[in-house]
Amino acid sequence: MVIVTEDVFANGEVNPFTKSKDTIKRFTLTNGAGMSVQLITRGATITSIKTPDASGQIDDVTLGFDDLAGYQSERNPYFGATIGRVCNRIANGSFYLDGKLVEVSKNRDNKFQLHGGFVGFDKAHWEVVEVSGDGVTLSHTNPDGHEGYPGKVTATASFTLSEDNCLHVQMSAVADKTTPVNLTNHSYFNLAGHKSGANGLYEHTIEINAYGITETDQSSIPTGRITPVEGTGFDLRVSSNLGERLKALQPARGYDDNFCVTFSPPQPLAKVARATHPPSGRWLEVVSNQPGVQFYTSNFMPDVERGDSPIPGKDGAAYAKHGAFCLETQKFPDSVNHSNFPSTILRPGESYQHEVIYKFGVSH
């Protein structure tokens, strides 16, 4: 049986939209199999996923902070957050929509937009719509013109936990004017335990069910070309050791790429990826209805070997480069500027629907 409990994560953060001082609520979803998930209303953010290893040892396998100050910090790389209105990058912060130029905020080096701009969905205080027997549904209303986007968008994110260790995340949105919408969850995983760092990450194996990647320039902006993975360092269709794959990619810092997922119509959902950590036995499978997934190996977390100071995380953790991986299900980055990519345009009367399942298990 799944149990849902609620407590207060923090008091008094100013809501960036309403300017009121709000209570940030936290929900804990626990099943009978030893798995629990915590999330907070700030940014509809997953703050913890605890799951047993093959010997029954429970550890937290997602990165995060103990307190609100951590999430507010400039050093927070979007840990666990729901990202919107448009995740990933928009080249030059501009695009044409029905023949009209739209200019959105450029929050990265004043060159492009990343993850929705200066105040994305990750900084919003989401409202609690429903607490059910196995989860919680949150909602955020994003005003017309926010960060330069046309139209009011009403987004919901529901998080439910099953008895077989599946965390289901369902993101939906409607708009009153035509606008792009592309949401994702930005959880950072390390199946060796959130504190285990690069050494833990290098022990993982990774498999990604993708036929191609969206080719990018040095700022990770797509060129519009889709490069087949066949015969490249991006061919992860067969499970292989992540540490070795990262070594082989050098001088690149690691993976930070949108993989184009292979679907088997008419199935609406595809197996996107599977990560395993053989020493603990833990594995994670990601299933989604989205055409892409950003596979990111935390290349831009602090490089302690070069003298950077780590990000101080929960439970005294010190997070650094290659300390976790992300599998961010999404439509392709910068789709607004590439007519050959799956469209992110949402029109009035339509409904955006994004389903992703994170299934955890152990191999004995």
Query: Is 187 one of the annotated binding-site residues?
Result: yes
Tell me how far apart the alpha carbons of residues 319 and 178 are, in angstroms, rounded to a whole number. Answer: 40
89 has binding-site annotation: yes
Q: Is 296 annotated as a binding residue?
A: no
Do residues 63 and 310 make contact, with C-beta atoms less than 8 angstroms apart?
Answer: no
- Is 188 among the annotated ligand-binding positions? yes
Q: From CA 188, how far away is CA 208, in angstroms rounded?
A: 16
> Within 10 A of 81 (CB to CB), how many other CB atoms are there?
29
3-state secondary structure the chain: CCEEEEEEEEEEEECCCCCCEEEEEEEEEECCCCCEEEEECECCEEEEEEEECCCCCEEECECCCCCHHHHHCCCCCCCCCEECCECCEEHHHEEEECCEEEECCCCECCCEEECCCCCCHHHCECEEEEECCCEEEEEEEECCCHHHCCCCEEEEEEEEECCCCEEEEEEEEEECCCEECECEECCCECCCCCCCHHHHHHCCEEEECEEEEEEECCCCCEEEEEEECCCCCCCCCCCEEHHHHHHHHCCCCCCEEEEEECCCCCCCCEEEEEEEECCCCEEEEEEECCCEEEEECCCCCCCHHHCCCCEECHHHCEECCCCCEEEEEECCCCHHHCCCCCCCEECCCCCEEEEEEEEEEECC
Report the alpha-carbon distance of residue 360 to residue 9 in Å, rounded: 25
Which residues does the annotation mark as catalytic? 186, 328
* 186 carries a ligand binding annotation: yes
Tell me the C-alpha distance between 203 and 196, whole Å.
10
364 marked as part of a ligand binding site = no
Residues annotated as binding site for beta-D-galactose?
88-89, 186-188, 256
Residues annotated as binding site?
88-89, 186-188, 256
